[in-house]
Amino acid sequence: MPIATFGGGCFWHVEEAFRQQIGVSFTSVGYMGGTFENPCYLDVLARITGHAEVAQIHYDPELVTYPVLLDIFWRCHDPTTLNRQGPDRGEQYRSVIFYHTPEQAAAAYHSKARLDASDMYANPIVTEIKPAGDYWLAIAEHQQYLAKKRVVKN
């Protein structure tokens, strides 16, 4: 099953944007793009690892295409703010697409160029597009965090 990996601020919000999508079979949150082995949340929060908070999406391409996932990604955050989303600040909250295949890379670059040319945003898109690297899974408590919080609130 193909995997897509996106960072766009707090990983809880990015994960939640994909979790209910038809064709998405599994989501998780973790860290990618840094130089620190096996980072924990506090390491990343301290900005010593270079990692971004990311959501990793396992999907069925027969039910949802990668370009559809890219559209969800663009809508779930502001891709024009460098190293921040809302109140979250720091490189761990950067906007980034980590591609797993050459086809994903081509689709990501095309999607970004199309969106940039659309004049949808007053500022340029700062989203990085990089090859996927090691993925470090966040602790169980952080997985599907917003869905769990909703259950607790009811």
Catalytic (active site) residue 10: yes
CB atoms within 10 A of CB 104: 23
Given 8, 9, 10, 95, which residue is catalytic? 10
Beta bridge partners of 95: 8
Residue numbers annotated as active site: 10
